[in-house]
A and B are shown apart, each in its own frame.
Chain A
Amino acid sequence: MKKFKQYINSFLLVELLKGMSVTWGNMFRKKITVQYPEEKTPQSPRFRGLHALRTYPNGEERCIACKLCEAVCPAAAITIEAGPREDDGTRRTTKYEIDLFKCIFCGFCEESCPVDSIVETRVFDYHFEERGLHIMTKDMLLEMGHQHEDQIAADREVDAKYR
């Protein structure tokens, strides 16, 4: 009996029609494909993308070389060298590097930062054209900060009450 039923079903292409109904159903549904890079998916204000070092509105860098981010980094991606700054003797980094090959974008550095200096921006699409460019130097990080400060500040503002 079971064999007979199978025979009839395969003869009448029932399974094919079932499958096609899904196909046809989706064909008229609203499209969810995002036309990257013209279109982008929405991001959370807590998005953890490429890093940046922030500055205060007067241009003074925030980072005080406390090295907590370096200590907390589970991938040991951050390398800091510090010393007293030439002109005023304050504690500053002389080298701040993030190895993007090591970084796992966990956001611990941002959480550990007592002065909100190192942050993760919404930038996630980047590439390297040369060997060695995967290491973000202090200048590159500060530049990221300059470029995205408005967005960074707005995101921290939104998230402030949960922190």
Chain B
Amino acid sequence: MKYNPVTEEILAELREIVGEKNVMTDEEKIEAYSHDETPAEQYGHMPEVVLTPNTAEEIAAVMKLANRELIPVTPSGARSGLSGGAIPDHGGIVVSVENMDEVIEIDYDNLMMVLEPGVITNSVNEMLEESGLFFAGYPMSVETCFLGGNIAENAGGGKAVKYGVTGRYVMGLEVVTPTGDIVQLGGKRVKDVTGYDLKQLIVGSEGTLGIVTKAIIKLLPKPTQRVGLLALFKDEATAISTVPKIMTEGRIIPTSIEFMDKLSVKTSCEYLNEHLPYQEAGAMLLIEVDGNKEDVVNADSETIGELCLDNDAIEVYVADNHTTRERIWSVRRNIAEAFKVVSPHQSLEDIVVPTANIPKLMPYLDEISEKYEIKVPCYGHAGDGNLHATLVKNPDHSMEKWFEIEEKALEDLYRATKELGGTLSGEHGIGSKRKKYMEMMLDPAELNLMRGIKKAFDPNNIMNPGKIFDLE
């Protein structure tokens, strides 16, 4: 596909549509829109122009123009993504929803909220704080990411064991289609089988099928009590074998079951100057339960704690207040940051395998680590099998060698993941980062169905082209 450049005439037309001050071409300003949280030197690409429209109608007009002129359009949120989804791979226009950050309605009678896509996810819950309600979408980047991006990526996070992922809470969407129509999908309806569920098709479509301009999300009553447990185990297999027992024997669905291997815990603790007795532990589980009754939540946490001890946990710590909860969670949250200190170059992966197969994956990771002389820490959401195995560049290797290793090691990793019934990405998405592994992972017939859907939505292939898969 050959796209056309953004000419002065087109810029003038864009200024007409979104207003002078919402058009950016200054290189210094638009540089920020050329990358997300993936390494910029590998995946970054400059846009030609960045627009910050204020309405769906403006975006629709931009899409009509882009179709007429064959200019690629890339939707952009907070750019905290981890797969390159918001990067304008083919230049062209970036449509940033940052100005569309209004809370349109909090509907207490239906337990729903209507928002624009540029609202920061964390602020949703800050706004709801006094209402006794909350939005259960909880990606780890909650303090920076936008709701629109969460929907586009179907973000997951640390509470998915109990609350599921973002898509579960999306009741309705207003979407500008690639051809410039504004459609209302779903609504404030708990049940709806009126035709295909296009709303859920948009969720997780990584900005390739449309731009979300409004979202109706479902709210839940907010639990008042939380207790965290940090359990130390001698090795990964022992830790992971405890996970299913929590649900089958304990009959409890925790809010979170996070897993950290020895290398992750050690690196994070050293980074934080945290004095947990991590030297003795080969792996840790961070388990949290929530609810509304203090004694029930305490009893649940005790049941889980006992299960861990029965399952050879070395020690189980209890965190039932803000100070201690923050301490154990910060170990988990700072792992990625801690490895950036070890080496700024890494490939943060997002594989997902059936939960019971997590221990089987570990020998593969050790193998990759040894074969390529790189560190491969593994941590993530044990409760749902979603693991952030990370390839960390060996500081002694040159960048060329690293790129070479990264590609081979990723292939090894994905092959092992597939063998164990797993797949490429649980919550970060494919974007451009994992695109080349799609054919290895998916059946050709399935990929062709996806291509067909893309063509039906976007006949000129101008909306976020080159993401997830190539059309040809």
A, B assembled together? no
Q: Which residues of B contact A (CB under 8 A)?
A: none
Residues on A lying within 8 angstroms of B by beta carbon are none
